[in-house]
Amino acid sequence: MSTTASQPVIVAAIGGREVPVHLGPGTLSQVGPLLAAQALGDGALVVVDSGIASAGEQVAQSCRDAGLRVAVEPVPAGEASKTLGELERLSRAAARAGIRRRDAVVAVGGGVVGDLAGFLAASYQRGVRLVQVPTTLLAMVDSSLGGKTGVDLPEGKNYVGAVYQPEAVVMDTRVLGSLPARELSCGFAEVVKYGLLVGGDLMEMVAGWPDLPGPDAELADLIRRCAECKLEVVAEDEFDLGRRAILNLGHTVGHGIEAAAGYHLYHHGEAISLGLLAALRVSEQHLGLAPEWRDRTMATLQRHGLPVVLDPSVQVDQVLQLMSRDKKSDGRALNMVLLRAPGDVLTHQDPDPAVVRAAVEELLP
């Protein structure tokens, strides 16, 4: 058992604060030493996804070993837990556990627990310390980074929340060993997105990736590269007013597909797989992207179990309608992210709706 805190692999400077990212096998045991090293509060509330309780217990034990008072609160797995009701339940559990202003909330789980417990940390007693411990690939490369936290309303996803940066992000690649194949694939769709955004050798690394999750050392490297891309963008645009929009590559059509399929047919990453293909086709028409990139991307997505053909039960008209209602669109008709080449990205593009329709129709069998 290690009692000293490890060195971070990335330190992002976001809004005048430093956000260190610790990454590697066995880093779960670093959470206690990291919190204790700050010499602030002596209490920690570990909020853990019920599907990965053992990781929560390891984190809790590392906090106890570091001399902290620890309470553990499991959250039922699934998006249905991202509610104001669950936020109230956790807030009251924190109060009963005597969590105070200088204590910490530790979020152990995928994006659901990261968003929920992140918002708990942002709002409980007007803000306590937060450590994100992402346990899904999607959470490691995306949701645990950048500070977006929140819960859903019946009226819409992520409708109540805050931008609140964690004091540290701790990623233990070992936990991915238990992640179901479908969840790994979904996270990989975001990895493919980063490959396209960054281009160069990251694009090649992604295109040549072996079966998921892949060899541990290379996997840590891949996650680090994706995390660096996201954090660089966030450091420039923490509150999503400009450049952060590039992270929406594949998401305009993807969100339309997710919504048109009623949020049950496709998981988010699967809809993004299809959305990326549409965005690449529109990029060919508008910006002259070479067709080989869409072909290669399609082969990569397919090889890792992601859909490249749209289920015929999904109505194209509905996809297009729901796309233009995406809450991230800022009044422009479609507002897409398009590529001239991998690594050469343009945001706030307003492509010809007929080209977009054709790119979605083409996904049908």
| Binders in 279-308 for ligand NAD, by CB under 6 A | none
Per-residue tokens: 2 = 């290690």
170 dihedral zone (left: phi>0; alpha: psi -120 to 50; beta):
beta
Question: Residue 238 interacts with ligand NAD (CB under 6 A)?
Answer: no
DSSP code, position 238: T
Given candidates 73, 86, 103, 142, which one binds ligand NAD under the rule CB under 6 A? 142
Question: Residue 175 interacts with ligand NAD (CB under 6 A)?
Answer: yes
- Nearest-approach distance from CB 67 to ligand NAD, in angstroms: 27
Question: Residue 135 interacts with ligand NAD (CB under 6 A)?
Answer: yes
Question: Residue 77 interacts with ligand NAD (CB under 6 A)?
Answer: yes
- Considering beta carbons, is residue 132 or 283 the nearer one to ligand NAD? 132
- Considering beta carbons, is residue 135 or 297 the nearer one to ligand NAD? 135
* Beta carbons within 10 angstroms of residue 164's beta carbon: 17
Question: Residue 335 interacts with ligand NAD (CB under 6 A)?
Answer: no
Residue 115 in contact with residue 138, Cβ under 8 Å?
no
Question: Residue 225 interacts with ligand NAD (CB under 6 A)?
Answer: no
Pairing of the two strands 17-24 and 168-172: parallel
Question: Residue 237 interacts with ligand NAD (CB under 6 A)?
Answer: no
Size of interface with ligand NAD, in residues (CB under 6 A): 29
Q: Which helix (H) or strand (E) holds 172?
A: strand 168-172
Q: Output phi, psi for 256, to 5 deg.
A: -60, -45
Question: Residue 158 interacts with ligand NAD (CB under 6 A)?
Answer: yes
- Nearest-approach distance from CB 286 to ligand NAD, in angstroms: 26
Question: Residue 82 interacts with ligand NAD (CB under 6 A)?
Answer: yes
Burial environment of residue 7 by CB neighbours within 10 A (0 to 12, 13 to 18, 19 or more): exposed
Dmax (CA) for the chain in angstroms is 62
Given candidates 22, 129, 148, 304, which one binds ligand NAD under the rule CB under 6 A? 148
Q: Which of these segments, 2-10, 91-99, 130-138, 271-279, binds ligand NAD (CB under 6 A)?
A: 130-138
Half-sphere exposure of 11 (CA within 13 A, CB side): 6
- Nearest-approach distance from CB 92 to ligand NAD, in angstroms: 22
Q: Which of these segments, 74-82, 204-212, 308-316, 345-353, binds ligand NAD (CB under 6 A)?
A: 74-82
- Considering beta carbons, is residue 165 or 283 the nearer one to ligand NAD? 165
The answer for residues whose C-beta is within 8 angstroms of residue 51's C-beta and 6 or more apart is 77, 109
| Binders in 27-56 for ligand NAD, by CB under 6 A | 49, 51-52
- How far apart (Å, rounded) are the C-alpha atoms in residues 53 and 135? 11
Given candidates 32, 43, 109, 250, which one binds ligand NAD under the rule CB under 6 A? 109
- DSSP-H helix ranges across the chain: 31-37, 53-65, 84-96, 111-123, 137-138, 181-198, 200-207, 216-236, 251-260, 268-287, 291-303, 316-323, 353-361
- How far apart (Å, rounded) are the C-alpha atoms in residues 106 and 167? 10
The mark string for 178-217 relative to ligand NAD (x by CB under 6 A, - otherwise) is xx---x--x-------------------------------
- Nearest-approach distance from CB 74 to ligand NAD, in angstroms: 10
Q: What is the contact surface with ligand NAD in residues (CB under 6 A)? A: 49, 51-52, 77-79, 82, 109-113, 115, 135-136, 138-139, 142-143, 146, 148, 157-158, 175-176, 178-179, 183, 186
